[in-house]
Amino acid sequence: MSTSENNHKTENDSFSTGRLYVGFVTCIIIILSFTCQCFVMSAHLSDLNFNKTVILGLFNIL
């Protein structure tokens, strides 16, 4: 295998890693926005038990 082919393979690997990272960050942002909505909803309901359940559920998922 020549060096130029090897370098090309490395570039492809880093590109796919970058795409994976972007997807991962997007998932985190979606989860955080969902969590914020849950906090706002539970604050309006003033139901602390619901709030604790949501937090514990999220930690179990992570």
**50 and 42 in contact (C-beta within 8 Å)?**
yes
Confidence of residue 59 (pLDDT cuts 50, 70, 90): confident
Mean pLDDT across 37-44: 71
Predicted TM-score (pTM) of this structure: 0.43
CA angle, corner 41, sides to 35 and 45, nearest 5?
A: 140
CA gap 16, 18 in Å, rounded: 5
The pLDDT score that the predictor gives to residue 48 is 62
**What average pLDDT does the chain have?**
74
3-state helix, strand, coil in the chain (%, to 5): 90, 0, 10
What is the largest distance, in Å, between two alpha-carbon atoms of the chain? 66
CA gap 57, 51 in Å, rounded: 10
pLDDT tens digits, 10-29: 666 777 888 888 999 998 99
